[in-house]
Structure 1
Amino acid sequence: MAFDLKQANEETQFENTEDTSLLVIVLDTNPGQKILRDNPHILTQCVDSVIAFANTHLMQKSQNKLAVMACHSKISEFIYPGTSKQLDVRQIDGQYEVFTLVEKTVKQNLAKILTTETPSTIITESLLAGAIAMALCYIARIHRTKPPGCKINSRILVVTGSGDSASQYMNYMNVFFTAQKQNVVIDVCALDQHLSLLQQGCDITGGLYLKVPQIQGLLQYLLWVFLPEPPIRQKLVLPPPVKVDYRAACFCHRELIDIGFVCSVCLSIFCKFSPICTTCHTVFKIPGPLASKTKKKKVKL
């Protein structure tokens, strides 16, 4: 009997030492996205695919944790776990209660966000940088409250169909390097077009970037590419990494540039020379014309 108790304690201790995987999904639900303006029904397919992907993540290990965020044009909110009253979830057709809770909570909270957004306030730009910052704050809070000896592998998955937003360049860079410092991996699933700024975030944090070739196979791509955790990805055959566009956005026009002027004090970037930095108000000297070098005449001997 003593042997059985000892063996049970060893098994329990082994289970507690297993790594916990925390996944935060940032779903871009802004109706101003071009892909949703052309076909609004795609949003329903994306939500269903993300819910199935989230449930698969929870099914991999009982210790896994999940959070889902909805990124909109004006706000970014957590739609799972919800802040409202706990739903009365009952088993439906043999479905696990946790899976039912995820599905009902996500759809109910997302419906509230979409119904409260009026068409007059909809803009084409989504607050993705702010949503990633909120996800990093949530991950930091989970790490502070974790029990001693528990190791949590955290990552963020961004699912969006929006285009690049150079106006959020500084916000993107801040969250990318913050995630790198916190050892948080950022993955990006682009639905409509390539996103150079988010490509930089994936490369900085060691995450994966994928532009979905066909929106009909979104769930298959999510399960194939983004379901495995970063330590396991090295052993799998995944899509080859694409060349990352590391161009910076100028602070004056918010456009990506190849060559520009950099402030020597605050490192702000401008596409044209300015005598005063608009960020730190440092005054620079106006560059004068380059002096032409006189060619020395060769003396013939």
Structure 2
Amino acid sequence: MSLELETTKSEDFVSTDEISLLVIILDTNPGQRLLRENPQTLTQCVDSIIAFGNSHLMQKSQNKLAIMACHSKTSEFIYPGASKTLDIRQIDGQYEVFTLVERTIKTNLHKIIATENTILSNESLLAGALSMALCYIHRIQRNKPPGCKLNSRILVVTGSGDSAFQYMSYMNVFFTAQKQNVVIDVCALDQHLSLLQQGCDITNGLYLKIPQLQGLLQYLLWVFLPEPPIRPKLVLPPPVKVDYRAACFCHREMVDIGYVCSVCLSIFCKFSPICTTCHTVFKMPGPLAVKSKKKKMKL
């Protein structure tokens, strides 16, 4: 999927600027338990994300923002968007940029929801959305002029559960983000997400499962609005123990102990004579060797 977006022009940067780019991935999959029980929860989450994004832009005039909507079948940018920029005029004294952010997000999100099929799926394409976000960050990084420093981070807001089927995609995204110095933060709305928690630990990001959905905006502003260099000086929720279990390649289930291919490092929960990933043939494990008893020497 190509990213036909209006990227930031080099004229918007100054050679001495230090700019913070925030990419927010909002899980809008209607198959989430929160949205199935109360569809109005999506409106609350969108309003909180809009207020949080505007707060990021308000910190510094050179800050940049991008927002993605993640569904069960597709992931698309809803801000800045690929369509023509809306004609926004000042309304009731509101800053035009904030009005543009709000209207663009709601307009593009309405189009995505209207074209989504009625078949509900509990799994969201979060790994694909993270990959698209990294591609967008890389393009912004490549187009900036020399001497301009760009601090990039990704915030994932989701109520979906973990998907072991996307394990390899998650790992590729996490280590790519680590190499590009991109911080990944995760705000879990409903369930504990062990795989995304691993990504936060790998990229030095923050992972938070909010206890109350009503306070989503307060948690976003308190925990995720400060940039990573400032966070060590703040009193933030203490880190929890990271669950570093891996998913097997045969049944896509989290395992504590398994078999690892010595060639491609694929993980299996049961022994297999042939690796299904690289087709390497292994030797069958033989019977355990029995130690022979030493005979006592006669004196």
TM-score range, shorter chain: over 0.9
Matched, 1:119 2:118: yes
CA distance in 2, matches of 1:52, 1:200: 28
CA distance in 2, matches of 1:185, 1:148: 22
Matched, 1:192 2:194: no
CA distance in 2, matches of 1:207, 1:222: 14
Q: Could you list the per-position Cα deviations for residues 5-33 of structure 1 after superposition, in whole angstroms to 9, with x for gaps in the alignment?
A: xxxxxxxxxx8524100000000000011
Say which SS state the counterpart of residue 231 (structure 1) adopts: coil
Matched, 1:202 2:200: yes
The answer to whether the 8 A contact 2:15-2:146 is kept is no
Aligned AA (1:22): L
Shift of 1:298: 5.4
Shift of 1:54: 0.1
Q: What is the aligned partner in structure 2 of residue 292 from structure 1?
A: 290
CA distance in 1, matches of 2:190, 2:125: 17
Shift of 1:148: 1.7
Aligned AA (2:230): I
Say which SS state the counterpart of residue 234 (structure 1) adopts: helix
CA distance in 2, matches of 1:219, 1:85: 29
Q: What is the aligned partner in structure 2 of residue 230 from structure 1?
A: 228
Q: Could you list the per-position Cα deviations for residues 228-286 of structure 1 after superposition, in whole angstroms to 9, with x for gaps in the alignment?
A: 00000011110001100000000000000000000111110000000000001111111
Q: What is the aligned partner in structure 1 of residue 97 from structure 2?
A: 98
CA distance in 2, matches of 1:285, 1:33: 45
CA distance in 1, matches of 2:114, 2:241: 40
Aligned AA (2:56): H
The answer to whether the 8 A contact 2:26-2:157 is kept is yes
CA distance in 1, matches of 2:47, 2:298: 85
Q: 1:285 to 1:214 in 2, by over 3 A?
A: same
Say which SS state the counterpart of residue 243 (structure 2) adopts: coil
Matched, 1:63 2:57: no
Q: What is the aligned partner in structure 2 of residue 22 from structure 1?
A: 21
Q: Could you list the per-position Cα deviations for residues 132-172 of structure 1 after superposition, in whole angstroms to 9, with x for gaps in the alignment?
A: 00000000000010022110000000000000000000000
Shift of 1:211: 0.2
Question: After the TM superposition, which of the residue ranges 89-98 and 225-234 deviates more from structure 2?
Answer: 89-98
Name the TM-score, length of structure 1 as normaliser: 0.93
Q: What is the aligned partner in structure 2 of residue 215 from structure 1?
A: 213
CA distance in 1, matches of 2:26, 2:163: 16
What is the alpha-carbon root mean square deviation over aligned residues?
1.2
Q: What is the aligned partner in structure 2 of residue 267 from structure 1?
A: 265
More helix by share: 1
Aligned AA (1:48): D
CA distance in 2, matches of 1:199, 1:129: 13
Aligned AA (1:82): G
CA distance in 1, matches of 2:109, 2:125: 16
The answer to whether the 8 A contact 2:248-2:255 is kept is yes
Q: What is the aligned partner in structure 2 of residue 88 from structure 1?
A: 87
Counting aligned pairs with the same residue, the percent is: 83
Shift of 1:295: 3.6
Aligned AA (1:51): I
Q: What is the aligned partner in structure 2 of residue 137 from structure 1?
A: 135
CA distance in 2, matches of 1:295, 1:241: 53
Matched, 1:168 2:166: yes
Q: 1:16 to 1:293 in 2, by over 3 A?
A: same
Q: 1:51 to 1:298 in 2, by over 3 A?
A: farther
Q: Could you list the per-position Cα deviations for residues 30-61 of structure 1 after superposition, in whole angstroms to 9, with x for gaps in the alignment?
A: 00111111111111000000000000000000
Aligned AA (1:284): F
Matched, 1:49 2:48: yes
CA distance in 1, matches of 2:38, 2:101: 26
Q: What is the aligned partner in structure 1 of residue 154 from structure 2?
A: 156
CA distance in 1, matches of 2:212, 2:257: 35
Q: What is the aligned partner in structure 2 of residue 128 from structure 1?
A: 126
Shift of 1:116: 0.4
- Structure 2: runs of 5+ lacking an equivalent: 1-13
- Structure 1: runs of 5+ lacking an equivalent: 1-14
The answer to whether the 8 A contact 2:15-2:145 is kept is no
Shift of 1:294: 2.8
Q: What is the aligned partner in structure 2 of residue 7 from structure 1?
A: none
Q: 1:141 to 1:297 in 2, by over 3 A?
A: same
Q: Could you list the per-position Cα deviations for residues 112-140 of structure 1 after superposition, in whole angstroms to 9, with x for gaps in the alignment?
A: 000101213x3111000000000000000
